[in-house]
Chain A
Amino acid sequence: MAEEKKLFKVTIDNITIEVEPGTSILTAARMIGGDVAPPAMCYYSKLKGSGGKCRTCLVEVAAGSTADPRPMPKLVASCRTNVMDGMVVKNITSERVIDARNGVVEFLLINHPLDCPICDQAGECHLQDLSYDHGKEGTRYEFNRRTFQKHDLGPYIQLHMTRCILCYRCVFTADQLTNKRVHGVLDRGDHSEIATYIEKSLDNDFIGNVIDVCPVGALTDKTFRFKNRVWFLKPVDAHCECTKCKGKVTLWYRGEEVFRVTARKDQWGEVEDWICNECRFEKKKTSDWIIEGPSTVSRQSVISQGHYQNLVMPKETMPEVMGGRQPRLLMDIHSVSEVNRPDVDLSALPGPAHSTDFPKKS
């Protein structure tokens, strides 16, 4: 008879749960869910070796185990510390943890450009969420924020090094998913940066996943750049027959148009199945996909505000009060005025517009 596996009892914020040996504190806390789960900016359950770097998931271990109930002197990174039987962990019930976490968030933000209004990640940015939860309204940092020399990573991926929090997720992704990693962390300390040492483009297959794992807007999709805010888009689950990946994706629609394709993410913002570059960057037509239905979006997410699940349409009152008659249009403001010559595409001109660019119509 197979011996029954012994489960470890761990108490996190006064909630006790039984987990298998070898589970990290963070995973155990995520099993409980809700506010008990510490935030994680660098840990990614699907990437081996990730975690321990951002220090946002620090927790207090009030008792190490039943066998050795001494508390741990320092706060520990919950993503890289495994539970012991009888361990007592304090996350949000510990003032030390809250204080340290606020400190970490402040550190992460002092050199962050806070350019959310022009950042494509805004609305689905983990740093944004984290700073709403733990940040202060003002900064105590009075110096110039760090800047970097720009690097071009090729046609698919846009790098904004100023936004990077050096979580190393993209490095692990490239190591573990693609056939060759061409980017990494250069330099050290506060001037360390993500780059390809000699300008190379990131175009290995599956490299597009670095966009999904990036917790901030440091790595964004060039094919979607500045096209739309994520909360105006409607995420729809779809799949296709793909030879390289499982082909399970989320399509981001506005109207009939697919603006971008991403992997599906779970409730912790982690990718469920990695997708290949072709699915992500090339298949941007509805006809490429088999639609499954609207994706579930967390109620807390700003994306859900433009979502159509359980949407109540306001009643059209005009026809009712007018007894079925349509209102008469005084002026149609929806037609385009010809005064500014819409037939001339200004952005296609090589230089400033000149009178010769507007030939008189005969």
Chain B
Amino acid sequence: MGRKLLLEKAHVEGIRTYEVYRREGGYASVEKALKSMSPDQVTEEVKKSGLRGRGGAGFPAGMKWSFLAKPEGVPRYLVCNADESEPGTFKDRYLMEFIPHLLIEGLIVASYALGSERTYIYIRGEYAWIVDILEQAIAEANQAGFLGKNILGTGFNCQIYVQRGAGAYICGEETALLESLEGKRGNPRIKPPFPAVKGLWDCPTVVNNVETLAAVVPIINIGGEEYAKIGVGKSTGTKLISACGNINKPGVYEIDMTISVEEFIYSDEYCGGIPNGKRLKACIPGGSSVPILPANLLLKTAKGEQRMMNYESLADGGFATGSMMGSGGFIVLDEDQCVVRNTLTLARFYRHESCGQCSPCREGTGWMEKILKNIETGKGKKSDIDLLWDIQRKIEGNTICPLGDAAAWPVAAAIRHFRDEFEWHVNNPVESQHRNFGLAHYADPLPVPVTA
């Protein structure tokens, strides 16, 4: 049983309300930080903890905070990215819905560290009911004196505002989020300048994921060094994983990054195995935009080692044989699932969510979707597979924001690992319409390279 830091109290009855949260030890980190630490000490503590951004890229949060420009007389902003729209990822929703005060607490501490007097939560528009929950929590925190003017008599002022998005995945990209927050069209900005220098209303801004900010609370409470002891290597602390797909117990799990992928899927404590005795075929371990892996590469790395649930191990082997931790959306596919269909679904999503600003993503995502649709419906040609590869190659890395990469990677990985399934679809156009390719050899043990 791994240690829990974020969701430990999530199921205490009434934890959503301020009284219960406070009774359970809530807002202790605010008291500790504001009364006994300087803003730089808080940042230092987060740096020591090795906390990595939980939104997908995994950039060290403390580093990001220390990059924030601090010119005189210019306000600084902290923006919480709650625009969680990645297919397969729903951890932030769980956190905000069940234990909203944890996020508010983390936001106050982070705002103090960064000197943000106006802090924003940019929340996905579809999470309409969570806005009410958060605003309730903010009102309660205001009443208790943890927000507003002169918090705890320290002279620090801070107010948190919740802003709803209008249903665009792209607004989860930090600069598009800032544009949207400013009331403009949610087009990603061209970097540099980075938000740490010119962000919201051209002021220095830090944008952090919900889970990252919530993790600040235990870091302050137990200390950065203590936090860094949890987990392995550069994957410190605990991570929320939202597991879904063909598993017995879908849901949000907090793991401490020391368990293996195999244990995560099959143990009763977590996903509880695959229903109806089916076998594992493939898995997207970090939300829709990370590369899909076949069962054999998922459980063991190319070197034949056990693959663990942490940043390094999931990325082991690069994109050739590995994947990414991403935002923790763990999607499991059993032997009855069709990888071509799955890839088409993802390609359709990215086509629909492309902002249309830069050409490779605007045109390429739609093209990929159309070709995949042809292959899926039995109208594909053999050359289409190579064409898909060429298109994704020309999108990746050539776009303004990471959405182009996110659209290219799933297609690339599906072709890289499941090329025979694509070819089977092309070669058997009739059969592929009423039967699946099945598990094939995707779970066969990998040939272990002989070391001399």
Contact = CB atoms under 8 A, between A and B. Distances in A.
B398 A55 contact: yes
A166 B358 CA distance: 8
A189 B366 contact: yes
Contacts of B353: 188-189
Nearest to A165: B359
Contacts of A74: 397-398
Interface in A157-201: 165-166, 168, 184-185, 187-192
B398 A103 contact: yes
A219 B399 CA distance: 26
B354 A189 contact: yes
Nearest to A189: B354
A108 interface: yes
B294 interface: no
B359 A54 contact: yes
A106 B393 CA distance: 13
B351 interface: yes
A55 B399 contact: yes
A190 B356 contact: yes
B367 interface: yes
Given A103-B398, A111-B363, A192 B190 contact: no
A118 to B, nearest CB: 23
A90 to B, nearest CB: 15
Interface in A20-67: 51-56, 58
A123 to B, nearest CB: 23
A264 interface: no
B355 interface: yes
Contact of B358 (A55, A75, A111): A55
A192 B358 contact: no
B185 A190 contact: no
B391 to A, nearest CB: 8
Contacts of B297: none
A53 B398 contact: no
Contacts, number: 89
Contacts of A188: 168, 170, 353-356
B365 A107 contact: no
Contact of B394 (A54, A80, A103, A187): A103
A164 B83 CA distance: 31
B164 interface: no
A143 B168 CA distance: 26
Contacts of A51: 190
Q: Is the interface of B mostly helix, strand, loop or mixed?
A: helix
A297 interface: no
A140 interface: yes
B357 interface: yes
Contacts of B128: none
A103 B357 contact: no
Size bracket of the B interface? 20 to 34
A141 interface: yes
B48 interface: no
A100 interface: yes
A133 to B, nearest CB: 16
Contact of B363 (A80, A108, A140, A185): A108
Contacts of A141: 367
Interface residues of A, number: 34
Contacts of A184: 185
Contact of B359 (A99, A108, A143, A191): A108
Contact of A80 (B190, B357, B387, B393): B190
Contacts of B359: 53-56, 104, 107-108, 165-166
Interface string B145-170: 00000000000000000000000101
B360 interface: yes
Contacts of A100: 394, 398
Interface in B290-323: none
Nearest to B186: A188
A109 to B, nearest CB: 9
A58 B363 CA distance: 17
Contacts of A187: 356
A302 interface: no
A53 B358 contact: yes
B9 interface: no
Contacts of B360: 55, 103-104, 107
A77 interface: yes
A110 interface: yes
Nearest to B353: A189
Contacts of B232: none
Interface in B114-172: 168, 170
Interface in B344-403: 351-360, 362-367, 370, 387, 393-394, 397-400
Interface string A91-118: 0000000011001101110110000000
A339 B274 CA distance: 87
A107 B370 contact: no
Contacts of B366: 111, 189-190
Contacts of B170: 188
B398 to A, nearest CB: 5
Q: Ordered nearest first, which 10 A-B pairs have the shortest CB separation?
A: A103-B394, A192-B356, A107-B363, A52-B190, A189-B354, A190-B366, A189-B356, A74-B397, A107-B359, A143-B370
19 contacts: A52-B400, A53-B357, A53-B358, A54-B358, A55-B358, A75-B398, A103-B360, A104-B360, A104-B398, A107-B359, A107-B364, A107-B367, A107-B394, A108-B363, A166-B359, A168-B357, A190-B356, A190-B362, A190-B366
Given A55-B399, A190-B366, 13 more contacts: A52-B358, A74-B397, A99-B394, A104-B360, A104-B394, A107-B359, A107-B364, A166-B359, A188-B353, A189-B356, A189-B362, A190-B351, A190-B356
Interface of A: 51-56, 58, 74-75, 77, 80, 99-100, 103-104, 106-108, 110-111, 140-141, 143, 165-166, 168, 184-185, 187-192
